[in-house]
Structure 1
Amino acid sequence: MTTTTTDVAARAADLWKVYGSGEAQVIALRGVSVDLERGRFTAIMGPSGSGKSTLMHCLAGLDTVTRGQVFIGETQVTGLGDAGLTRLRRDKVGFIFQQFNLLPTLTAQENILLPLSIAGRKADPDWYKTVIETVNLSDRLGHRPSQLSGGQQQRVACARALVARPEVIFADEPTGNLDSRSGAEVLAFLRNSVREHGQTIVMVTHDPNAASYADRVIFLGDGQVVDEMTEPTAEAVLDKLKGLDVGSAGA
């Protein structure tokens, strides 16, 4: 089945990213073309230095590209000016980073609602309640980040990304600072937000167990898409990664 434009939440077309020049030149992405389907949970994996975080940053408009095109829905990200990129990140994209990026002077609730406040929008009360209950933050909403554990701060960051229901959520190791139980709860919520509410999530992870929550796993090696897998299991992902690590030894 051919993917139509309306089915695609994010797309890279012949994407190249080059850092430096001459002997110091590093080619992070080498002609990557990939469609990320709307309403699906996609994981991006690969060995260290494979380009997975660079790809996500380029897709999200956080980094410029050397050559090629990036689209969020039907919006071409490449070529947008600062104002256009600001609107894109505010209205169409959500982020969950390994570092929490919470504002220390705001409460958990204020941090969660901040993107909506900036956009002049109000949260849907039923969805907000679902988000808060699922990430188990009901009794922490009045606390500032310094009063929260690392796991609680990451759950605030997850809730912040999800509450606005953006077109795409980009997640960079979203459970990297969570214990296994909290991580499983967040991943299950991300999974359910896709299955039950049509959210689109693109997650960079090194964890085969986290990737097993996805519908599809894209594997990068040396800046290129080298394989993909649908309906992944943790064991199958781990086996694939071992093969990629062997292939990229010394890279």
Structure 2
Amino acid sequence: MWRAYGSGEAQVLALRDVSVEFASGEFTAIMGPSGSGKSTLMHCLAGLDTTDRGTVSIGDTSLTGLGDKALTRLRRDKIGFIFQQFNLLPTLTALENITLPASIAGSKADPAWVSRIIDTLDLADRLDHKPTELSGGQQQRVACARALATRPEVVFADEPTGNLDTRSGTEVLKFLRTSVDDFGQTIVMVTHDPNAAAHADRVVFLADGRIVDELTDPTADAVIDKMRGFEKLALDMNADNASGQFTGLNHSGAA
């Protein structure tokens, strides 16, 4: 897929011929330097942004060419979202926030399923509390429960631990890991944190809008080593450009 912003000399290529697949029931982290295209890739995958060229599919459903109403239904029925900013409605209780997507769809969340998620996230004694009465970690756990309440095909998590302390962030990451291992959930997470990426089954690395590498069964140290390599490559490219030379990145994409 390709995605560009602006035009002419001001045009910025955010994604350049990216080809990638995410297996069902797998936890994938997307990493890369600032401006590498991580968030753009996630937004295109989740139907929050469109591609200029290429196609995006979730399961058997192609997002490419869908109208606004169809995209809204797809995001509601097939996708869960967890954001760095918790995005909870302040006037609703924790339980009402968790069941909100089903309410908007005019349906009712499966009580047994919701109860299982609530128990796993240890939220049973916080269901009547509003967001202002919850800690940051508790708010993000409510957001996690909301994301899984409708049993989506995939959950996209954008820096889900970015606003949390270490302990709360670890709790959220453990839940995401559990949701894959015990619930068979598919998770795609953008993160800058090697420790967060180490909870994933696989890490996909972006640089300059391209997929440049990937790592399976990652450890934090292995992720750090990869990132250092990309930083050195970026410095070398800048030095080559300054001297009138150019060194290109070449990667066919991950399948």
TM over 0.5: yes
Match of residue 143 from structure 1: 129
Whole-Å Cα distance in 2 between the matches of residues 162 and 72 of structure 1?
16
Q: CA deviation at 1:126?
A: 3.1
- The residue that corresponds to 1:89 in the other structure is 75
Match of 1:210 in 2: 196
Bigger drift between 119-128 and 83-92 goes to 119-128
Alignment match of 2:12 (pick from 19, 26, 29)? 26
Distance 2:198 2:224 in 1: 10
Counterpart Cα distance in 1 of 2:164 and 2:121: 12
Task: Report the Cα distance in structure 2 between the residues aligned to 1:206 and 1:31, rounded to whole angstroms.
Answer: 22
Q: Which consecutive segments of 4 or more residues in structure 1 shift more than 6 A?
A: none
Alignment match, 2:153: 167
How far apart, CA to CA, are the structure 1 residues paired with 2:97 and 2:111? Answer: 16
Contact 2:140 2:172 in 1 (8 A): no
Cross-structure match for 2:92 = 106
SS in 2 for 1:199: coil
Task: Look up the SS of the partner of 2:138 in the other structure.
Answer: helix
Shift of 1:191: 0.8
Distance 1:149 1:248 in 2: 39
1:189 CA displacement = 1.3
1:196 and 2:182 equivalent?
Answer: yes
Unaligned runs of 5+ in 2: 239-255
Report the AA paired with residue 29 of structure 1.
Answer: L
Q: Which moved more, 1:188-197 or 1:209-218?
A: 188-197
Residue in structure 1 matched with residue 36 of structure 2 by the alignment: 50
Kept in 2, the 8 Å contact 1:39–1:200? The answer is: yes
Alignment deviations for residues 8-62 of structure 1 (CA, whole Å, 9 cap, x no partner): xxxxxxx011000112111000010001111100110001000011000000000
- Give the C-alpha shift of residue 121 in structure 1: 3.0
Between 109-118 and 175-184, report the one with greater CA deviation: 175-184
Unpaired stretches in structure 1, ≥5 consecutive residues: 1-14
CA positional deviation for 1:228: 0.4
Provide the C-alpha distance between the structure 1 equivalents of 2:183 and 2:128, rounded to a whole number of angstroms.
27
CA distance in 2, matches of 1:196, 1:143: 27
1:118 paired residue number: 104
Report if aligned partners of 1:154, 1:177 keep a CA contact under 8 Å in 2.
no
Alpha-carbon shift at residue 123 of structure 1 (Å): 2.6
Distance 1:201 1:42 in 2: 6
Greater C-alpha Rg? 2
* Structure 2 letter corresponding to 1:179: D
Q: State the alpha-carbon separation in 2 of the partners of residues 230 and 116 from structure 1.
A: 35
Instruction: Give me the TM-score of the superposition, normalised by structure 1.
Output: 0.91
Q: Distance in 1 between matches of 2:44 and 2:38?
A: 10
Q: CA deviation at 1:151?
A: 2.1
2:204 and 2:149 mapped to 1: Cα distance? 26
Secondary structure at 1:31 match in 2: coil
Maintained 8 Å contact 1:191/1:214: yes
Cα offset for 1:124?
Answer: 2.7
The alignment's C-alpha RMSD in Å is 1.3
Which amino acid in 2 is paired with 1:192?
A: T
